[in-house]
Structure 1
Amino acid sequence: MPMLDATTDCVAYHFLASWVARFGATQVIITDQDPQFESRAWQDLMDFLEKEVISNSPAELTYGEHLRPPGQFALQPGTLALVFLPELQQAIQALRPVPPRSCQHQMPFIPHSLPDAEQVFVRRVHHTSPLQTPYDGPYPVITNSDKTVTIYKHGKSSTISANRVKPATQ
């Protein structure tokens, strides 16, 4: 039975309607300490069913204690870790974020043969499929400047950025 959401009321309803209705009430219920299992409404439901709720993590149930990061194992009294810890904390506190790199605008590559080209291919702006060519053309060049190329395309002239064209070699 799919749940509409994970609110306490919805979880409790589905628990009663699905699990308890089919299998009966269990002796112990183990939760993962999500908020819906820690709420007053859930506790009232457990009191009604006369169930004990164990709010432990799976690690606590498996190993009998909380899991600890590896660094905590070394922090036993009398170890060198206690001497090293203040130095490490000081070093971490002294760290500062690296400033962002300035935007270094690179000049786009424009082929040297573009000013003399009689025809050019025009790169498509939209995404192309893997087997589709990334360029349309060739189109005849009407005029050519440092930043733009005017071409004859579909019966009319069209001015396009020089970044989007490459010369069509004969």
Structure 2
Amino acid sequence: INEDLQRSSAELVYGTTLRLPGQFVEPLPQQTEDPANLVGRLARIMDQLRPVPVAVHGSRRTFVHKDLTTASHVFVRHDAVRRPLQPPYDGPYPVLERGEKIFRLNING
């Protein structure tokens, strides 16, 4: 506090006194509620809750390139973290059987 001006350094710099964080929010008056009323009100609120509709994932059609229906050999992609300069695909592997979405390959014999 500056004795000549009767002000603190904060008042001189900011033009007002500093407030503590707890002084920014006024305390709410404490209301005591009857437990029976609280339980009844909570039960009414819970009765009004409705479930959220589920999201449908995976409804997209799987893309299979048209050349895969006639290819004799294919590459297999590895969706993993790779070392530098490591190729994202292994192969080529010969196709033993093919279905609409599933291919049976000869990997390592």
- The structure richer in strand per residue is 1
Which band: TM-score by shorter chain?
A: 0.3 to 0.5
TM-score by length of 2: 0.47
Higher helix share: 1
- TM (norm. structure 1) is 0.32
